Amino acid sequence: MHNFVLPIIIGIITGLLARLLMLRITYRQFPSFPHGLIINVFISFIAALIGALAVPAILKPDFTAGVFFSIGAAQFHTMRKLERDSWRAIDKGEMVPRGAAYIEGMAAAFEARNFLVLIVSLITTTSAHIWSWQVGIVGGVLLSLALCVWKQGKSVSDAAVSSVASIRIETGTVSVNGLKICDVNDDDIPFVQENGRALIVRGVKFSSILTLSHNGQQQAILHNIALVFGALPHPRLKFEVAFYPKHEQIICLVYPIIYDECLLIKTVGETPLLEAAYRKGVKLQKN
């Protein structure tokens, strides 16, 4: 068993390294610092430990240990449910909620990255045992870096082009480029004129248009804008989004606390394309 001590240690360290490389503390506040970070690292340690111990358990062979490894891996799915429930509870207090689709994507990423840690630890430990500890370290580091590149999902900027537009109000109707967004009371018109900002997000291909039509994707865009720029409170007016399939675009009407046009476009572009919202349709050809 002493022959496995060094490979196991290397597997655990590289597994944790892979998770640390995948951690991103950004304006999306996931994971939050420091408690969320501690939880992510500790669960990743368990995943790395399971992956590292799987090799000696199989080679021993100890198939009973394999059952415990399966149970341990199943706990990641339970953690996904707990993560989902936590974010749903937090979402109730947001002025602009994330939405169910966004939260489900975050929970799925939480679970998937723990499995990635397990795979890195498993492959690293196997390589270190079969060849040498040097091969295990090099292979584990390269695999960790490769996974960091692979795990990067697509964002709105990959599917759409964003631009800022001017707002026009006539007889209580707010419109952008002649397209109606919403109706407002006369008392609210000064608030919209002073604080309202309009953003056009145009799909670059047919599948992008279908994705932008999803309410969850639209809500994710509005939430990210509110995270970066804040949201001015108003008793009646909220962030609005309107979808125009014929124009292949959505129009967002927001009321940020602070405003920067370039940063607004960048924020929308960095919004992730949600797995639950992604669509790949077929555009029919006209005869």
* Strand 249-254, strand 240-244: pairing: antiparallel
Among 118, 150, 182, the domain boundary falls at 150
Domain assignment of residue 85, yes or no: yes
Q: Are residues 163 and 245 in the same domain?
A: yes
Q: Are residues 10 and 139 in the same domain?
A: yes
Give the number of domains in the chain: 2
Q: Give 76-99 pLDDT, tens digit per residue.
A: 888 888 889 988 998 998 999 999
My answer on whether 166 and 138 are in the same domain is: no
User: Is 281 within a domain?
Assistant: no
Q: Which residues pair with 252 in a beta bridge?
A: 199, 241
pLDDT tens for the 287 residues of the chain, in order:
557 889 999 999 999 988 888 876 554 545 556 677 788 888 889 999 988 888 888 777 766 766 767 777 778 888 888 889 988 998 998 999 999 999 998 888 888 888 889 999 999 999 998 888 889 899 988 988 887 777 667 899 999 999 999 999 998 999 999 999 999 999 999 999 999 999 999 998 888 899 999 999 999 999 999 999 999 999 999 999 999 998 999 999 999 999 999 999 999 999 999 988 887 765 544 44
User: Looking at residue 251, what is its pLDDT?
Assistant: 97
- Please check whether residue 249 lies inside any domain of the structure: yes
Provide the residue range defining the domain that includes 69: 2-150
Q: Examine residue 202 and state whether it is found in any structural domain, yes or no.
A: yes
pLDDT recorded at residue 70: 75
Contacts of 14 (CB under 8 A, 6+ apart): 48, 120, 121, 124, 136, 137, 140, 141, 143, 144
Residues 138 and 16 in one domain: yes
- Same domain for 162 and 64, yes or no, is no
Domain check: are 137 and 179 in the same one? no
Q: What are the tokens at 97?
A: 């909620």
Angle between helices 5-22 and 35-59 (to 10 degrees): 150
One domain for residues 124 and 227:
no
